[in-house]
Structure 1
């Protein structure tokens, strides 16, 4: 990639954060540069240099590049996604230095492109970028829509390529996961916003979003729970399906199972292991609920994972004080940037998670409903 700008080289249009006591402007930008330093010449953003690239974490890392003013690097990442998209609208689950190591399809991984593209547009206001990315986004979301089951939930994945008769969900893994579906909820909302901005029809996506939101709130029996993982706990809030008092109660119910004082949150409830990305995602979820005090405290607590070069270690086994895995992951650094942006209200994209409930609310206000059952 090209040489990265110094702080004094950044244009005046780049917003800079003010998160006193947690991250300085210089530290914020150093983390952005650390992410960009891991970017491959193709534009791919792997977990760490020489490691795997997956379509979801790649996009989260691209979002952090946008948020730190590294626009060219972010757009190189989106161009990589555009080039690597397959004819059916999907991406492989995993690549390593350009080689596909898992060719199958993950519906959530494919949907997340809409979140990244909308986020980049919010920051740059570049309509040409949005128009350029529209064929990729629409193809991906149309593909993801095929994974929606009759109850509104989305099956998590499928073999590649899908059989021609996808209406019967052939080739799909008939399991719906809470975390992935909550993320798809946000992605559908962003895809709808992109379509509206460009004047493209999105009625089918609106119906899919309503059905999914209702399923996440009212039909837990449709999903295979993984209660030991913190992501299953907070993601319905993060993705916008559950907010308000219901969201506060959801977070309060398992706070003490996952939150470790002064360190962050556990990835798995029964293991002495805190992880930076999950902590920052909970920060974003708390911010979306208006709990900025706890969110700010947690973001400060996880700074023990920061490396002097601006990157972040993935996690810490606090029982023995060892970092594990022994890697500084691109997506952990990205989660820090996005959480800091949200709390500091810095870039024009700082509300991408806070506002994740709004599209569904607007559709419902227009009189559409997501389910014909008696459950509210």
Structure 2
């Protein structure tokens, strides 16, 4: 891992410029699609809201939260995708629904606005109750529920790792608003144990880089075990000078995966390597401050031909993390309740021995 230079990752003016490109794509109802005319999904919409907040675009972030409140369904879920204000894919993705808790906690850290937490508490509670109802007996959480109410009996390691952190954020919000949601603590303990110890309970997605690093971001594997995990497949996914592949078997580095890997590295003390990756990904920066989704380095072309809002958001969140901003605190778990125990595992259900190798935004 080569050293990073000492210059800032992004100047304030560049951060503002990138945030403005995200806000420019936002639709009149507050939705933030992947790109103009594209679809909106709740997870990436919330990631963009987080990035807008830390970049000073409170107006756009507030509009994004208003969209979340208006579009939540009676069962606590959101549809998986929306286009131009209409539902495109009606089924609900558990991780997309859970992420509202992570984003709400991030907003709390950025603003200190307790009224916001109280306003969003019914939204967070409904979402996490929906998610916990999809937990299997082995601790893993099924990835989706159909419009008719049937669970899809498959669990995804990336999604469950992200959901794990969201559950802990939900517990933190509950404590601040004086609520005790039944079942969340036990669900988080069981999920953490599954993520940290039972790779066989998850679909085999090891070709995706997210399955490699997301257990670190989600908090199931940290410290020396987290470092060992990230070293274990470094050569499979990281291309020197370019960033991280989305999938191990394609000559394609992607900005979001590279920046998420940088966050994971920073969380386990590999901040020099993290900064290097964020600098490497600047080759994807467009002249207007947006970011191409990825670079196909065999053909030497940007692919796909889009500047995705969630790639720009991932860059801003990684920059904030490495600068010691609220994003670092949010993912490090500052001020969150202690990890709940796994069933039958005393006070620490981590089981984080770094012994599993195994995610998913859709990659070819």
Q: SS of the residue aligned with 1:274?
A: strand
2:328 aligned partner: 350
Q: SS of the residue aligned with 1:278?
A: helix
Cα distance in structure 1, aligned partners of 2:336 and 2:74: 31
1:13 aligned partner: none
User: Measured at CA, do residues 322 and 349 of structure 1 come closer, stay the same or move farther in structure 2, by a change above 3 Å?
Assistant: closer
1:361 aligned partner: 339
Match of 2:56 among 69, 79, 83: 69
Cα distance in structure 1, aligned partners of 2:77 and 2:103: 16
2:268 aligned partner: 289
Match of 2:112 among 125, 142, 146: 125
Cα distance in structure 1, aligned partners of 2:337 and 2:40: 30
Match of 1:150 among 125, 137, 146: 137
1:174 aligned partner: 153
Give the Å deviation of 1:97.
1.1
User: Measured at CA, do residues 259 and 59 of structure 1 come closer, stay the same or move farther in structure 2, by a change above 3 Å?
Assistant: same
Q: Residues 300-311 of structure 1 correspond to what in structure 2 (within 5 A)?
A: 300-311=279-290
Q: Does the CA-based 8 Å contact 1:66-1:123 persist in structure 2?
A: yes
**Residue 268 (1) aligns with residue 247 (2):** yes
Cα distance in structure 2, aligned partners of 1:312 and 1:21: 18
Cα distance in structure 1, aligned partners of 2:335 and 2:346: 16
Give the Å deviation of 1:321.
1.1
1:251 aligned partner: 230
2:125 aligned partner: 138
Give the Å deviation of 1:128.
0.9
Q: Does the CA-based 8 Å contact 2:188-2:340 persist in structure 1?
A: no
Match of 1:313 among 283, 289, 292: 292
Match of 1:102 among 89, 96, 102: 89
User: Measured at CA, do residues 345 and 36 of structure 1 come closer, stay the same or move farther in structure 2, by a change above 3 Å?
Assistant: same
1:323 aligned partner: 302
User: Measured at CA, do residues 106 and 350 of structure 1 come closer, stay the same or move farther in structure 2, by a change above 3 Å?
Assistant: same
RMSD: 2.0
Q: SS of the residue aligned with 1:101?
A: strand
Q: Does the CA-based 8 Å contact 2:186-2:340 persist in structure 1?
A: no
Q: Does the CA-based 8 Å contact 2:339-2:348 persist in structure 1?
A: no
Q: Does the CA-based 8 Å contact 2:9-2:278 persist in structure 1?
A: yes
Q: Residues 332-343 of structure 1 correspond to what in structure 2 (within 5 A)?
A: 332-343=311-322
2:99 aligned partner: 112
Q: SS of the residue aligned with 1:50?
A: coil
Q: Give the structure-2-normalised TM-score.
A: 0.91
User: Measured at CA, do residues 349 and 257 of structure 1 come closer, stay the same or move farther in structure 2, by a change above 3 Å?
Assistant: closer
**Residue 57 (1) aligns with residue 44 (2):** yes
Q: SS of the residue aligned with 2:330?
A: coil
**Residue 219 (1) aligns with residue 170 (2):** no
Cα distance in structure 2, aligned partners of 1:88 and 1:185: 20
5+ residue gaps in structure 2?
1-5, 356-364
1:8 aligned partner: none
Runs of 4+ in 1 over 3 A off after TM superposition: 356-364, 366-371
Q: Give the structure-1-normalised TM-score.
A: 0.88
Q: Does the CA-based 8 Å contact 1:130-1:194 persist in structure 2?
A: yes
Give the Å deviation of 1:354.
2.3
Post-superposition Cα deviations, 1:242-298, rounded to whole Å, max 9, x if no partner, equal 111211111111000000011101001011000000000000000110110000000
Give the Å deviation of 1:160.
1.1
Post-superposition Cα deviations, 1:132-164, rounded to whole Å, max 9, x if no partner, equal 1111110000000001001110000111141xx
Match of 2:22 among 35, 38, 49: 35
Give the Å deviation of 1:358.
5.8
Cα distance in structure 1, aligned partners of 2:341 and 2:179: 16
